[in-house]
Amino acid sequence: MVSESAIPSASAAGSDLFDRAMIGAEHSIMTSLIVHRNGKSKYLCATTKYACVGMDRAELGVSLVGGARHKNAAKRLLGLVRYQMDAGLSTDYKCYIGANGNGVLLAMKSAVPSALRSKCASEFDGFMRRVEKEDYEIEVDQICRTESQISRELQDMAEIAKLGLDEDCM
């Protein structure tokens, strides 16, 4: 007979699935940004599996995180502030921030710019360890916001979260 404690609960299984989905979405965003901003990208598609991701995966990643319905979804969404997003991706991101306003405002209470910067830098370093470095001309600051940039963005995100969706998001 199997004890009940040995059987994962439905909420634990759901949380594991959510975490895996969010990690995958965040990885898609970061790798897309790296490839998009890399000086040698025009040659990479033929030589490495990460190269052909394009910005569409970043957009998909933001929409997956932004559209998630989970108790930790707003925190994961707010955590994307660590990435240097271009105008189009940033617009989508801000729309999801507005749509998840109250949850984002709650998540703001535990947002630490230094931890967000550190997480992004660690992700970037992990990516760079797995690829041929000579194929990449890119620095961490091209992908990750600095602590001061994150602090300013968090202030902006708080305003967007308070206002909710605007007409550009509908």
Q: Which pLDDT does position 51 carry in this prediction?
A: 55
* pLDDT tens by residue, 103-147: 999 999 999 999 999 999 999 999 999 988 888 889 999 999 999
3-state secondary structure of 144: strand
Q: Which positions ≥6 away from 26 have C-beta within 8 Å? A: 61, 65, 76, 79, 80, 123
Residues 2-18 have a mean pLDDT of 57
Identify the DSSP state of 80: G
Q: Which pLDDT does position 13 carry in this prediction?
A: 62
Q: Could you state, in order of their start, the residue ranges of all structural domains in the chain?
A: 11-169
Q: Which pLDDT does position 36 carry in this prediction?
A: 80
Q: How many angstroms separate the CA atoms of 28 and 115, rounded?
A: 20
pLDDT band at 14 (very low <50, low <70, confident <90, very high): low
- Ranking 32-41, 52-61, 91-100, 161-170 by mean pLDDT, the lowest is 52-61
pTM of this prediction?
0.81
Six-digit token string for 89:
């991706």
Answer whether residue 54 shows pLDDT above 50.
yes
The total number of residues shown for the chain amounts to 170
Q: Which pLDDT does position 47 carry in this prediction?
A: 67
Residues 78-86 have a mean pLDDT of 95
Q: Which pLDDT does position 49 carry in this prediction?
A: 60
> What is the average pLDDT score of the chain?
85
